[in-house]
Structure 1
Amino acid sequence: MSDEKSRTVWADEDYVGAKNQSFLSRLYTGTGAFDIVGKRKMWYVISAAIMLICLLSMIFRGFTPGIDFEGGTQVSLPASASVTTDAASEVFAKTLGQEPESAQTAGSGGSATIQLRTETLSSQDASKLAHAFADAFKPDVTVADVSSSDVSSTWGQEITRKMVIALLVFLVVVFIYIAVRFDREMSAAALVSLLFDVVATAGVYSLVGWEVTPAMVIGLLTVLGFSVYDTVVVFDKVEENTRSVFATSRRTFAEQTNLAVNQTLMRSINTTVISVLPIIALMVVAVWMLGIGTLKDLALIQLVGVVVGTYSSVFLASPMLVSLKERRKDVKRHTAKVLARREKVASA
């Protein structure tokens, strides 16, 4: 069944006057005025383009593994007005002849520190670097203030393995739960939505080029839970609207699904805004104002994940559900019945 035929028909009495309402009125009342499902081919193209860009970034640009995944040495020294990330990086490069892989500020106030991460250093290079910092930043920094610690890549590899296992278990559990709670088509649509969330969120992280840290991994699994919640809320309304859809010939399955999406759209927007505001506050206050760079990984992945999760729940999961449902014979017969009735009424 073509998208044009599956679009909401405004002749239905429930939709009379809906087009004349303002944008905000239609958004809050959930009249079905936004033809999201009927324009699903457009959303498929947009989603495919996003996934393609993200996949190409992950393939060609790749990720920037943090010290926890790649292994190496982390050098820390107290931060002050004269001891900044740029100044410390400059001393590092002059002393060892190479730039540090990353430099960031952790903590705030008197407990703030500069953290430099690089490939594994020998004890001689670590000692040489500590004396160089003490000479460059005296009297603010002494040799005793500079500390270095080695991190093995084995721990990062173990974190990666556990993340993959946790992600696979999560997807399987979600698939089974939605299949039992709703049906197989909804379960498949939700799984497609989650896969889009993973690729899009990871792709944005690849495009930005920030280091992949354990916080990023934790944040990714967290936002997938948010996406599932939003999808289940929409699907619950879809199930309610389509429970007796075959008993009438007023609307097609696609139109009832579109109505459900409209009825939950304001809730999805409100949930997203409420979730995004504290994340933005975290980025502004903790990362920008207080300079706690270690929190930016968690903040970015959650910010992107929440927005992507809402998009996929509204513009991908429900349209995908309709596409899967319209493959069934009973849905095809009912759609043809509804359209035939409308043609008969229109010609009368």
Structure 2
Amino acid sequence: MFQILKAESTIDFMRWSKFAFAFSILMIGASIFTLSTKWLNWGLDFTGGTLIEVGFEQPANLEEIRTALDAKGFGDAIVQNFGSARDVMVRMRPRDNMSGEALGNQIIAAIQEGTGENVEMRRIEFVGPNVGDELTEAGGLAILASLICILLYVSVRFEWRLAAGAVMALAHDIIITLGVFSMMQIEVDLTIVAALLTVVGYSLNDTIVVFDRIRENFRKMRKGDPEEVINSAITQTLSRTLITSATTLFVVIALFAQGGAMIHGFATALLLGITVGTYSSIYVASALALRLGITKEHLMPPQVEKEGAEFDEMP
């Protein structure tokens, strides 16, 4: 029978599992603390409000624009460049008894008066608070439903210790990614929800590849304790993991650098999620399964006694 032997070049990943656990717990604790104190910077998709895109003939002075809006009673306006130095995006919270169009006209008039420049309104969007509440609920339910479906899938496909490691790794990735968004106060809109769901799928795929090799090695390696088997499986899939992550990150980095403001948050979420997901596939999912006591006996297929076998053994 073919036998998989432990390669001499096997990397001892589990040697650093304690440090990795400590690092992950620290990151999760910091993320939960940040989320509990600062929460998330919800975008207009969730909070409702008005978004106005304004075009200037010359590079815009953001501080001058903020001062002009503050003088007209719009001190809560968020002003930032959008795509280029001559394009400015102004985001406002909902105003009672004022339509989005009227608010946009007042914003344009305040900017023109304060800066003395002719500006062009490129785009104006209005999202009501009721729609924002519905999107918040729908986005949260989408992530929760995906995690529940993944839990059911891995529970059927793998032994429960491996399934627990996979689900905890997914939760690890989402919490840390949201913690970074909270700490940096990056605006969270529907594209971020899409990015988080993409991260869940990417991280799960990477984890399943590793777990398939772990299960195969447990069944074929006659010698070696569970730690050696897991190290061997991770080493054997390491080149695939790194190549997949690297090629994906090349595209994400290009989107992050050149994609523009519209998808900046989406690219940021993917950049964080893929990086953390690659780390968690090695040091969270596999290491947690090891800590839960996974052994060869747990992954061996049940032996089915053939009918009539007792008669074959009779002389």
State the TM bucket, normalised to the shorter chain: 0.7 to 0.9
Unaligned runs of 5+ in 2: 299-315
Match of 1:50 among 27, 36, 59: 27
Deviation at 1:85, TM superposition (A): 4.0
Deviation at 1:91, TM superposition (A): 2.5
Mark the CA change 1:35 to 1:77 in structure 2 (over 3 Å): closer, same or farther: same
Deviation at 1:84, TM superposition (A): 4.9
Structure 2 residue 200 is matched with structure 1 residue 216: no
The 3-state SS of whatever aligns with 1:243 is: helix
Check conservation: 1:223, 1:302, Cα contact below 8 A: yes
Provide the C-alpha distance between the structure 1 equivalents of 2:25 and 2:6, rounded to a whole number of angstroms: 34
The 3-state SS of whatever aligns with 2:89 is: strand
Provide the C-alpha distance between the structure 1 equivalents of 2:246 and 2:93, rounded to a whole number of angstroms: 40
Which sits farther off after the overlay, 268-277 or 303-312? 268-277
Check conservation: 1:103, 1:114, Cα contact below 8 A: yes
Deviation at 1:132, TM superposition (A): 2.6
Which sits farther off after the overlay, 90-99 or 52-61? 90-99
Partner amino acid for 2:109? H
Structure 2 residue 88 is matched with structure 1 residue 114: yes
Give the aligned partner of residue 280 of structure 1.
253
Check conservation: 1:84, 1:114, Cα contact below 8 A: no
Match of 2:57 among 77, 80, 100: 80
Mark the CA change 1:39 to 1:158 in structure 2 (over 3 Å): closer, same or farther: same
Mark the CA change 1:94 to 1:45 in structure 2 (over 3 Å): closer, same or farther: same
Deviation at 1:81, TM superposition (A): 1.8
Give the aligned partner of residue 305 of structure 1.
273
Give the aligned partner of residue 69 of structure 2.
92
Provide the C-alpha distance between the structure 2 equivalents of 1:230 and 1:45, rounded to a whole number of angstroms: 22
Aligned pairs for 1:231-270 within 5 A: 231-245=207-221, 248=222, 250-270=223-243
Mark the CA change 1:330 to 1:213 in structure 2 (over 3 Å): closer, same or farther: same
Partner amino acid for 1:274? T
Which sits farther off after the overlay, 147-156 or 218-227? 147-156
Partner amino acid for 1:302? L
Unaligned runs of 5+ in 1: 1-12, 19-30, 287-291, 332-348
Give the aligned partner of residue 207 of structure 1.
183
Deviation at 1:47, TM superposition (A): 1.0
How high is the TM-score relative to the length of structure 2?
Answer: 0.83
Deviations 1:281-339 (A, max 9, x none): 112123xxxxx32221101101000001101101110111112234x7957xxxxxxxx
Provide the C-alpha distance between the structure 2 equivalents of 1:40 and 1:76, rounded to a whole number of angstroms: 49
Provide the C-alpha distance between the structure 2 equivalents of 1:183 and 1:80, rounded to a whole number of angstroms: 63
Structure 2 residue 127 is matched with structure 1 residue 154: no
Deviation at 1:59, TM superposition (A): 0.8
Mark the CA change 1:261 to 1:180 in structure 2 (over 3 Å): closer, same or farther: same
Mark the CA change 1:315 to 1:146 in structure 2 (over 3 Å): closer, same or farther: closer
Partner amino acid for 2:91? R
The percentage of aligned residue pairs carrying the same residue is 26
Provide the C-alpha distance between the structure 1 equivalents of 2:265 and 2:256, rounded to a whole number of angstroms: 10
Give the aligned partner of residue 293 of structure 1.
261
Q: How many residues align?
A: 290
